[in-house]
Amino acid sequence: MSRTMRILNAGPMMTVQDGGRRGFLRFGVSGSGPMDRDAFEAANALVGNAPDEAGLEFALIGGRLSLPDECLIAITGGDVPVALNGKPITPWSSWRAPAGSELEIGAMRSGVWGYIAIGGGVTCPPVMGSRATHLRSGVGGLDGRVLRTGDILPLGPDTGAEPRKLVKPMRLRGGPISLVPGPQDDYFDADAFSCLFNQAFQVSQQRDRMAMMLDGPEIHAAGGHDIVSDGTLMGSIQVPPSGRLIVLMADRQTTGGFPKIATVASADLGRLVQTPSGKAVRFRSVTVEQAEAMVREAAKMRRSALENLAPNDLLPG
């Protein structure tokens, strides 16, 4: 008999996500996948899943889940209170949930995005090679939409892994977010880059899986705000005529006609997306070569953390 879990109360923006959908950018479908890939992969590692196995992503508040069958669970991402059958458990560790358990995840104390992994993964039918929910296109996950109260999700066979916990840091914390100037850096003058790298910006309330808006000083393109539409990445920073920066995210449009002043270095994407609304961020300029070195160092740090998980011998409470 296949295993399931039931959504008793869904937090905002709760969706099924896996490692992402590849090969469909030319059809206007971006990759989706997790907003914070480090946290997502850590959750899967803690329950013995493959790095890209499907789980749940939520924003700000987790909600409540019913687990009819025994399973191994892990919650990662921002700092959030979690209870298993009314007893507190710690995030960034995996826990064995007895059959008939109820998992409750509260409001974020810090951070924005959280992840719930279950040993065996969520096994919704793949769409275009992925279980990731792409809300803009309405594909993947459960009917291509956010989850809601009463939804029942299928689960794969239990991995048989033992509960474990993270004991080494996944990534470095603090400091400015690194940006690689361009690809339309020639559209911007020295004043624009001086503003970008010497002024603070604030993460606005206008944010979702498509984009996040930054409040602060206006930046204008000396070369004009219209370009022939070209490809976008997660982390592309567009500058529209308003001068208000738009950072594109996992469910972004695949092309755009505003010039892009810079691109967030991949190694710093997780830190940026986990910055709460209202908080200030600052940026620094790095070269492509420096950004590539950062990715290699981040991958080494992540691999070391996930290869050195320790047994979690604690009981809930």
pLDDT in tens, 204-252: 999 999 999 999 999 999 998 889 899 999 999 999 999 999 999 999 9
Cα–chain-centroid distance for residue 13?
12
- For the chain, the average pLDDT equals 95
Tokens 């308003």 -> residue:
242
33 closest CA partner among 48, 54, 13: 54
Q: What percent of the chain has pLDDT over 90?
A: 90
CA distance 56 to 34: 9
Tokens of 176: 């400015």
What pLDDT is recorded for position 1? 57
CA distance 239 to 27: 24
pLDDT tens, 176-197? Answer: 999 999 999 999 999 999 999 9
What pLDDT is recorded for position 28? 86
pLDDT tens, 204-217? Answer: 999 999 999 999 99
pLDDT of 171 above 80: no
pLDDT-derived band at 91 (thresholds 50, 70, 90) equals very high
Contact 95, 87 (CB under 8 A): no
Mean pLDDT for 31-36 is 96
Task: Please give the domain boundaries of the chain with CATH numbers for all domains.
Answer: 3-164 (no CATH), 177-302 (2.40.100.10)
pTM: 0.95
What pLDDT is recorded for position 317? 67
Instruction: Give the β-pairing of 201-207 and 236-238.
Output: unpaired
CA distance 28 to 143: 19
Instruction: Give the β-pairing of 283-285 and 177-181.
Output: parallel
What pLDDT is recorded for position 194? 97
> What Cα–Cα distance (Å) separates residue 82 from each residue in 46, 132, 175?
16, 24, 29
Q: What percent of the chain has pLDDT over 70?
A: 99
Mean pLDDT for 134-143 is 93
Mean pLDDT for 281-310 is 96
pLDDT-derived band at 288 (thresholds 50, 70, 90) equals very high
Q: Which residues are within 8 A (CB) of 299 and not within 5 positions of it... i.e. 6 or more apart?
A: none
